[in-house]
Amino acid sequence: MNVSGISNERLKDFETFDVLRDDGDQRAYVRQEGLTQIAVNDHIVGRLKMARHKAEQDAIKNLARYKFSNFGYHAARWVTLNRIIGDKKPNPFKYLVDAARGKA
């Protein structure tokens, strides 16, 4: 398998993050330092940003329905996608963490 010119030997150096879409899975290969040449494509970055927005909406929806484990899953998805995209958008759940620390 050759993904955008990356040989099979080099693929093992990458981590795989699956971003679910309505019509199937889209895989982006990233290194620890951020996006690689594959994910630099504006189309893929745009889809990653849409997935991050959906993760935020899903987290809020599940929190409102008292589904705390689902909230945690989607909030963690948001954090992971934010790290992959690399634009360092502020975490929308920070105020919840701060409030919880105040109660602890």
Query: Would you say residue 45 lies in a domain?
Result: yes
pLDDT value for 93: 96
Query: Would you say residue 3 lies in a domain?
Result: no
Query: Would you say residue 39 lies in a domain?
Result: yes
91 vs 45, residue with greater confidence: 91
Query: Would you say residue 1 lies in a domain?
Result: no
Query: Would you say residue 2 lies in a domain?
Result: no
pLDDT value for 30: 52
Using DSSP, state whether 9 is helix, strand or coil. Answer: helix
pTM, to two decimals: 0.61
Mean pLDDT in residue range 48-63: 96
The pair phi, psi for residue 32, each rounded to 5°, is -60, -35
Q: State the SS3 of 76-103.
A: HHHHHHHHHHCCCCCCCCHHHHHHHHHH
Range of the domain at 96: 8-103
The pair phi, psi for residue 7, each rounded to 5°, is -70, 160
Query: Would you say residue 47 lies in a domain?
Result: yes
Number of domains into which the chain is organized:
1
Mean pLDDT in residue range 31-49: 65
